[in-house]
Structure 1
Amino acid sequence: MNSSADEFAQYQSSYPQELNIAQRLADGAMANGWGKRTALHYRGAQVSFAEVREDTGRFAGVLSELKVAAEQRVLIALPDTPAFLTSFLGAIWHGSVAVPINPYLPLDRYEFFLRDSRAVVAIVPPWLVCTVIELSARLPALQHIVVFCDPGTPTGGTDDGDWKTPNLIGSSPRLHDAADLLEGAIAAPPASTNCDEPAFWLYTSGSTGLPKGAIHLHHDIWVAADCWGQRTMGMGPDHVHLSASKLYFAYGLGNSLHCPMWSGGSAVLVEKRPTPSNMTEAIAANKVTHFYAVPSFYNAMMADDGFSAAIAAGLYSSLEVCVSAGEALPAPLCDRWMKATGVPVLDGIGSTELLHIFIANRPNDIRPGSSGRPILGYDARVVDEDGNDVSPEVVGDLWVRGDSACIGYWNRHEATKQALRGKWFVTGDKYRVDSEGYYWYAGRADDMFKVHGQWVSPSQVESVLLEHEGVREVAVVAATDDRGLSCGVAFVVPVGSANKALAAALSEHAAGSLSSYLVPETIKFVDELPKTSTGKIQRYLLRNQME
């Protein structure tokens, strides 16, 4: 038995059969004497654990008044604000299923999530109200739209109240101001739920097609918070956490919600999109001890004009540890960060399906360039195409097991069978493990790749580029830039002549239709694309050209 299997066998989870994880987090804080301690820092104010507990019960009361039944889905499209915790924990406390999604998506994406989840309640910020109203005629399950007005705009502005127009009030589904509902709400008792009962879904990024709803159970948060937060990281009540990754992602959910609440620490919430300046400001203002981001964000912070001045001014002096996940952290970037700040940065790998990090470096055990070793409570294997363990240093497919794994994907039977092999989850990542048990990332098992911690679908980017009249054929592959970070390169067969003007036009065209991380870093013109006898593009030959 290998060392990770030993630790997996030794871990004994202690969650009870009857478990409502929202109650465990909120009441557990009170039982530990943390009621008056700060749970959240938001816009210069503090929210105590007692206030989180009160708001959770009251929002469960709101859902009860709205006649939301057990296990019905409550979709939450909110930025990182106290309202997110109120909604997420309140839905689970009530016995319904919380479904958080990104509130900053292109507007045409929301119909899929509302239809697929069959949500009966949509909890949204003001800027999404009209979109959901317009979609509601095609969403027979949706009964209520609840609006939290802080912040009022995607950039953090004040709500102008336009959504409260007479033609929307009284519409079907019914439209509610969350503040009005909460003002008169009576706290509801927690629902009696089983540890193996669905508590929340997390949607995958849709890297291989439409996003998939990973169904998580009440005990999954218990396991993830206990194994990562407490036993691996030693988190405690004096720790202050800040995550550049948002609450509606699995990584951010653990960083800012269940790990801090489990350990009695506090989380700093920043509702705006993360930037080097607003993260630095938040670190300094709140004396953050634990900071979380993806590798490209650490690189952006070091490239920022104010980084050297921030170091000189001691703005990062409170930091005890930094964590990186979402994509592999290049060893040079890890070394540069630690040399500049004096703070260790721990690379790890997690997934939506496993809820949080399951292989990681530790504060006293850092191997730059590697993902570390499996943490307590998890086991990992590197296998060949037949599912047999490979020898050390041989690249194979990474399989992981742990008790925080989802039970499957909603309405995606075939995808579930492919991802879950008994107790093992097939990550889709290529890895090698060395003789000391450290895991080293080797790439994706397919053609997908990550930029800024988010999956890039080559076909999606190619479809946009093919819309341009100057493109005959195109293939997008992964590469690394001169900083060692992942980026995309588009190999283009032009209709006419290739020149810098066309390359600039294609980049501009892509930027007008795609999120910034999807836009290729480089456009390379070629006479033809390498193909198999059946006409399939041989992407590995293009990738080889970039090495």
Structure 2
Amino acid sequence: MAAGTEGGTQLQQLLETSARSSPEKTAIRTDGGDVSYSELCALVGRVAGALTGSGVDKMDRVAWLLPNLIEAVACSFACYSVGAVSVPINVRYSSEEAAYMVNKVQAKVLFLQADKLDVLRKLSCPVQVVVLGAARGQHRSWEEFLQTKARACFQPVSAQHPALILFTSGSTGHPKGVLHSHGTCWAAIDTSARSFRLGSDDVVLVGKAICHAGGLQTQLLPTLLVGGEVVLTMVPPPAKAVDLIQNFGVTVYAMLASFLLDFVEHLETTRQEVPSLKKVIGSGDCVPLPLQARFHKLFGWPVLEGCGITEIGGYFALQPIGKEKPGSIGIPTPGTEVRLVDEEGKDVAVGLPGEVLLKTPSAALGYWDDPEASSLLFRDGWLRTGDVAREDEDGFLWFVGRRKLIIVRRGSNIAPAAVERALATHPEVQSSVVVGVSDALDGQVPVAWILAKNPSCPPTSTSLAEHMSKRLASFELPVLYLFLDAMPLNSVGKFDRAELQRAAQDKRDILLHAKRAGA
């Protein structure tokens, strides 16, 4: 890393501190080879210097539209080093969605792979582009970027200085940029390391995308904090995950609940052994009790379950190791205070459901360039999650549901309004309502109710699917298109989403039952 990080934040010193202890130890294993702590520090230093040489200064935003690659890790650390703000963007987003995020933060530099260059056509802000892979035209390649020189790059900042913007879908359909400081990032990372009892002998297989808090701040960075070893690849299918666990002696593996199902089914079928594995965490959605029982039968110990949100950069509740309660999301993480309140903001009694409010040192500063949404995020100093839970007599939390309209499909958030806006651009669609229905594999999936401009001749599902596939990420696409002559209204004259959700669930259940019966 850049010479001398004295006086910087704990986040700025994180990597160098571990490197001083074990410089030659493997920090990250990737598909492209292994990188030691000293080598990672050197790469981060080069990237930090190149950022400075490219004119990046404190508070400038640096976006990276990259999968789980060592270059993405280096970009993130380099931003922290020079006081810039790191902006990860999910490669699963459509070009239009990714461009919205780059424009929203007015990024000064954008890192992306060559297959994502179509994003550039939709940008309205001036941005320097660095391409991993074959560069085109005026854009620099990664190798050319690293040749950029600067005299100095490390810039000490305070713990309150902005460090990271993580985009998350909101009920309005426009992705919101959750702004975290050096201090709040550090708190989330430290909390995860302590909650999972990570040590320098742990080998952690990253089971989530590092453009999200789950991959970056609860897996990758906590492991590097304690001097452990990271196995980094794109979210692996079960067969590859087993190979990685066996080859590298992985001890900890965290993944979304839906991927946990795939993992368990693979092990049940193949009967492969993974003796090095000591902890497995399922999150992103509830882990069904039958799945937990199947996991326990395989391993002889329980899967850990937790619940977190982007606005605190990690978990607010986790199963305590050795004192688990299957079905619950655990107890508040270290340093986290939890309140459950009713609609009026009054604390509910034990056993009754209430909205989860949080006080934690990892709470976000707010939303980037969105003062209205930022003001609604907090209530009397408590962060509002929009999640509903109940607490039992032992202090364990049990997830009830989400107050928000967000559909969570395999851990990815889908805003119904975003899907509805895309549907509105179809020439034969008058209006639409998108709701989430439960799904055994994905947790939730979107179903679209359509009011056609010509009800006697509505658009086909095929034409709708083709239209939507050009405008949304694959995980956002509705699994079913249903048609109405008129949308039902609730008592205040709005579309009755609750009724439409119930009807969509019934129709999909009938279709799935018929499909199974005909199989």
Please classify the TM superposition score into its range, dividing by the shorter chain length.
0.7 to 0.9
Residue 272 of structure 2 is aligned to residue 313 of structure 1: yes
Alignment of 1:54-93 (within 5 A): 54-93=42-81
Question: Separation in 2 of the partners of 1:528 and 1:340?
Answer: 50
- Is contact 1:20-1:92 (8 Å) kept? no
Question: Separation in 1 of the partners of 2:288 and 2:267?
Answer: 20
Residue 154 of structure 2 is aligned to residue 190 of structure 1: yes
Unaligned runs of 5+ in 1: 1-15, 150-160, 170-174
Residue 67 of structure 2 is aligned to residue 49 of structure 1: no
Query: What's the secondary structure of 1:258's corresponding residue?
Result: helix
Residue 166 of structure 2 is aligned to residue 202 of structure 1: yes
Q: CA deviation at 1:299?
A: 1.9
Q: CA deviation at 1:479?
A: 2.7
Residue 103 of structure 2 is aligned to residue 109 of structure 1: no
Residue number among 196, 212, 222 corresponding to 1:259 in the alignment: 222
Residue number among 272, 278, 281 corresponding to 2:243 in the alignment: 281
Residue number among 167, 175, 192 corresponding to 1:211 in the alignment: 175
Query: What's the secondary structure of 1:353's corresponding residue?
Result: helix
Please identify, of 233-242 and 343-352, the stretch whose mean Cα deviation from structure 2 is larger.
Answer: 343-352
Letter in 2 for 1:190: F
Change (3 A) 1:334 1:511: farther
- Is contact 2:92-2:474 (8 Å) kept? no
Which residue pairs with 1:23 in the alignment? 12
1:74-128 per-residue CA deviation (whole Å, 9 max, x = no partner) reads 1122211111111110111112111111234211223322221121111222223
Question: Separation in 2 of the partners of 1:491 and 1:98?
Answer: 38
Which residue pairs with 1:244 in the alignment? 207
Query: What's the secondary structure of 2:78's corresponding residue?
Result: helix
Change (3 A) 1:520 1:367: farther
Change (3 A) 1:95 1:469: closer
Q: CA deviation at 1:493?
A: 6.4
Residue 490 of structure 2 is aligned to residue 532 of structure 1: yes
Q: CA deviation at 1:343?
A: 5.0
Residue 365 of structure 2 is aligned to residue 394 of structure 1: no
Question: Separation in 2 of the partners of 1:498 and 1:196?
Answer: 58
Which residue pairs with 2:315 in the alignment? 357
Residue 89 of structure 2 is aligned to residue 125 of structure 1: no
TM-score, normalised relative to structure 2: 0.87
Identical aligned residues as a percent = 29
Q: CA deviation at 1:201?
A: 1.6
- Is contact 1:207-1:456 (8 Å) kept? no
- Is contact 1:199-1:218 (8 Å) kept? yes
- Is contact 1:20-1:190 (8 Å) kept? no
Letter in 2 for 1:246: A
- Is contact 2:388-2:400 (8 Å) kept? yes
- Is contact 1:88-1:98 (8 Å) kept? yes
Query: What's the secondary structure of 2:241's corresponding residue?
Result: helix
Question: Separation in 2 of the partners of 1:487 and 1:68?
Answer: 41
Question: Separation in 2 of the partners of 1:540 and 1:427?
Answer: 21
Question: Separation in 2 of the partners of 1:503 and 1:65?
Answer: 51
Which residue pairs with 1:222 in the alignment? 186
Residue 388 of structure 2 is aligned to residue 425 of structure 1: no
Residue 463 of structure 2 is aligned to residue 475 of structure 1: no
Letter in 2 for 1:139: C
Which residue pairs with 2:143 in the alignment? 179
Letter in 2 for 1:249: H
1:406-455 per-residue CA deviation (whole Å, 9 max, x = no partner) reads 11111111100100234311011122222221111221113222111112
Query: What's the secondary structure of 1:247's corresponding residue?
Result: coil
Q: CA deviation at 1:318?
A: 1.9
Which residue pairs with 2:23 in the alignment? 35
Which residue pairs with 1:145 in the alignment? 129
Which residue pairs with 1:329 in the alignment? 287
Letter in 2 for 1:145: V
Q: CA deviation at 1:512?
A: 6.2
- Is contact 2:283-2:307 (8 Å) kept? yes
Query: What's the secondary structure of 1:280's corresponding residue?
Result: helix
Q: CA deviation at 1:469?
A: 8.0
1:306-334 per-residue CA deviation (whole Å, 9 max, x = no partner) reads 54354x231x3221111122222222222
Q: CA deviation at 1:513?
A: 5.0
1:221-266 per-residue CA deviation (whole Å, 9 max, x = no partner) reads 3212222212x21100111112221111111102443201111111
- Is contact 2:167-2:177 (8 Å) kept? yes
Change (3 A) 1:527 1:427: same
- Is contact 1:362-1:372 (8 Å) kept? yes
Question: Separation in 2 of the partners of 1:473 and 1:192?
Answer: 52
Question: Separation in 2 of the partners of 1:131 and 1:468?
Answer: 22
Residue 261 of structure 2 is aligned to residue 299 of structure 1: yes
Unaligned runs of 5+ in 2: 507-519
Question: Separation in 2 of the partners of 1:28 and 1:257?
Answer: 16
Q: CA deviation at 1:504?
A: 7.0
Change (3 A) 1:95 1:318: same
Question: Separation in 1 of the partners of 2:202 and 2:258?
Answer: 25
Change (3 A) 1:533 1:283: same
Q: CA deviation at 1:371?
A: 1.1
Letter in 2 for 1:42: T
Change (3 A) 1:524 1:34: same
